[in-house]
Structure 1
């Protein structure tokens, strides 16, 4: 791992970026103490949707959240919406 003073790093940023792109890690120092590391950028992770789809198909899984009825997202009946809630129990 290479160390370079911050005053030199600001003057050689393009050169340092090329070295980091090649896989090198460079530590930038101030007064002999490490301040930051220049490291190669990594691809951000995330959900592998294709892998999830293949896993579900391979294991015969339709969904991960139990049995969700087809009408789950349907609007609620009006009488349900206007019926008052029961009173809360007193503690």
Structure 2
């Protein structure tokens, strides 16, 4: 745990924030007495963004959706036939 004065914390706030992001706790003092702590939020230091697909599927199952993507055809992203593209709109 790191201890800094309020004046030092104001001058080096960005650096202290980076240390807190890495999981360190910083105690800020006034006249040598602790005033407050800057602490990492639970789960923030360890978790690195991205989509948690398993959690999403678990949620969908919990609300009654068995499979959110039941079927996607193999040719889903193939180009459309030329005759379809040249046909006028209705």
TM-score, normalised with respect to structure 2: 0.47
Taking structure 1 as the reference length, what is the TM-score of the superposition? Answer: 0.47
Structure of greater Rg: 1
